[in-house]
Structure 1
């Protein structure tokens, strides 16, 4: 398998979550560059099925997993399991229990599944263009549910949304706010019950490659499915197309490229788990499952799990969700450069980076002294090896955050301190 060579990231076409009837419309054309630091006129390789002898690694939206389909809403009688685990309540948080593992290297996943199940929901969307299904997590006791934008964006017009809890109760829901550029959205249950169990939020900043994880959601309509795996990689820049592409063929107002500084996991991921939970062995939410890698049609039309799935880190998801609940929209950090992929000499070696093609006046980049031709190779010590990777790093931050860019200018390394601003609204 080979990755798309242009930007060393997985190109992930929009609208791949489980659709029950009408198939997704073809993707819209690329949109103008992002202010965070994107390539001018980014290109996407849509040549699925046109490779010979080598499988082109593409990806689709609709993370999830179907390894062991279990109905988590039903209470289970634990058999003899080793090691033992206990669940402790979080009275101050009014959220799902935290699981204390007897042996962290060999987690009791039954305990984790039981703790998380009440906080994960199935989402069904119906519009004039078709119907589809996805997943979500209960964010608070007021009935707010966090999910992916591509799961519910078709219902922002005349569509309808229903949410089914783990115990089978179903409620109508409405969209509170969407953020297409991060592929996140918040919906709210109508007449929400008082016994909702919000999911406990974890710390995505503390994750390590190799940590055990569980994905929970609604793949292929199989509600309450859990799968396990490990964190395969962190800070993986993943592009899922443009945010004006809808699974129902509708055009959205924003045309930003959807870029995530993603958690990569080996937990089985399949269509329908978009918006579902990725949790650690304590049962804490560490990411929102959002996309999967898949083999293109030319490689045998394999569109399900191949062991490469991606989730939006909870740090970013929490920030966006709180903003959407508060005002119905979200602000984003802004650097103010246009960049392109390049390879630069770094001492006696060469390395990939994001070369500054232009700097907009009056922006954080201009105020920090960035210049055309500078090559950005790291953000706060995290490697940047493409223009998309730079966008992913900046998008994970908030306006007002201070960050250090490591650049190569005229063959020499130097650090540049930048205070990020609020990204201006995209022109209509």
Structure 2
């Protein structure tokens, strides 16, 4: 089995039902060295972490969910802890849920709280049509979704957004950011009673936390699925941003690399751009891709196998705020090219990202990073590949101070670095 981009917004003929059959996703083209760190073509893997023999398909995933927090009774009364939940109404955004039993979340309450903040998105161009999901970001009608859901509508397409209650509105693109696979669209003459989703804290997540996805899988709007956070900081690569939602090729683009939240909540084509929420109903991630065993014998895209990926809300909010403000987003920049390697670390060996070049005048050069250094951690977070280094840097913002742990001449060193804004001309 091989690793390939996941086709979130499949190209389908006009009039056919989205999510049935679609052409196989094209293999990811060779990617030029990335400014944050890249790896050579011979050992290139998609951003799913490369340890599984699965194909990563860019699925149009939409997930939204409501969370429930625990409501505890008097400590002296054993029967006071029940499965009942309460809902706290937030000012100007979706309510949060207080769970009566932390070990058995009341997903009914979570769904009721979150689904009004999750929308279905339909895109139509001359090449075909596609469907995906999105979340209501603010009362002004901004919708946060994936670039691969709406990117093909730039300039020559039509976008239609359907709210949870069935109302439908046209929408226009505010800004897209292909390198993070995020985009913001805005409803045309949107209503005044929108319910923006409540933002959570992706930094506080732990493996094993409950999670819910809500969205428009296979055209089935308002679908919710539950699971857990099955891994964090998973470096996932789904090809290049030059692969458009409907399978068309654009002129150029960076490889889409995400330091993703991995979840077992079922995510399928059509869920892209939707919400992954915690048990309080707070947004923790934007669903963007799934692991798949590949194409079926009929050529249609395979569905969920229990491994899905979401862009952490911290990164999604930062990009969305920038897109709403200026229509574009800035990215953090380190200034090195790297490749996968294995290095001795004391009496053991470990995988890492070996620096093969350092660009002059960049944060890496200013910090004293040298050719041959092997990066094994960023702020204590393990780095075991060039893709993992790219994912960590892309999650940060320009101006952030970080510490790279490198192995140089057989010894560990901590190197403080202040990240800069990625130049527009940089790969």
Question: Is this a same-fold pair by TM over 0.5?
Answer: yes
The 5 Å alignment of 1:256-405 reads: 256-297=254-295, 303-405=302-404
1:65–1:305 contact (8 Å) kept in structure 2: no
Alpha-carbon shift at residue 249 of structure 1 (Å): 4.2
Out of 200, 222, 226, which is 1:202 matched to?
A: 200
Q: Is the contact between residue 16 and residue 62 of structure 1 (CA under 8 Å) also seen in structure 2?
A: yes
Alignment of 1:21-420 (within 5 A): 21=13, 23=22, 26=26, 29-41=29-41, 44=44, 56-62=53-59, 64=61, 83-91=83-91, 94-297=92-295, 303-420=302-419
- Pick from 5, 8, 11: which aligns with 1:13? 5
| TM-score, normalising length: structure 1 | 0.88
Could you tell me whether the CA contact under 8 Å between 1:18 and 1:134 is conserved in 2? no
Runs of 4+ in 1 over 2 A off after TM superposition: 14-31, 40-46, 63-66, 247-254, 296-302
Task: Give distance in 2, aligned partners of 1:356 and 1:40.
Answer: 11
Check whether the contact 1:217–1:277 (CA below 8 A) recurs between aligned residues. Answer: yes
Preserved CA contact (<8 Å) 1:65 1:227: no
- Secondary structure of 2:390 counterpart: helix
Q: Report if aligned partners of 1:407, 1:415 keep a CA contact under 8 Å in 2.
A: yes
Retained in 2: the 8 A contact 1:156–1:175? yes
CA 64–250 in structure 1, closer or farther in 2 if over 3 Å, else same: closer
- CA 1:297/1:252 → structure 2, altered by over 3 Å: closer, same or farther? closer
Q: Residue 95 of structure 1: SS of its match in structure 2?
A: coil
Distance 1:261 1:45, change over 3 A: closer
- In structure 2, the CA distance between the partners of 1:62 and 1:308, relative to structure 1 (3 Å rule), is same
CA distance 1:43–1:156, shift in 2 (3 Å): farther
Unpaired runs of 5+ residues, structure 1, are 5-10, 47-54, 71-80
Q: Distance in 2 between matches of 1:426 and 1:375?
A: 26
1:7 match: none
Q: 1:42 to 1:206 in 2, by over 3 A?
A: farther
Contact persistence 1:14–1:245 (CA under 8 A): no
Deviation at 1:40, TM superposition (A): 4.3
Q: Aligned partners of 2:6 and 2:154: how far apart in 1?
A: 17
Q: CA RMSD in A?
A: 2.4
**Shift of residue 39, structure 1, vs aligned partner:** 1.7
CA contact (8 A) 2:296 2:302 kept: no
Please report how far the alpha carbon of residue 426 of structure 1 lies from its aligned counterpart in structure 2 after TM superposition: 2.9
- By how many angstroms is 1:260 displaced? 0.2
Of 246-255 and 369-378, more deviation after overlay is shown by 246-255
Against the structure 1 CA distance between its residues 411 and 373, is the aligned structure 2 distance closer, same or farther, given a 3 Å change threshold?
A: same
How far the C-alpha of 1:299 sits from its partner, in A, is 9.2
Unaligned runs of 5+ in 2: 15-21, 47-51, 66-80
Q: Is the 8 A contact 1:149 1:183 kept in 2?
A: yes
Structure 2: distance between partners of 1:131 and 1:118: 25
Distance 1:104 1:14 in 2: 34
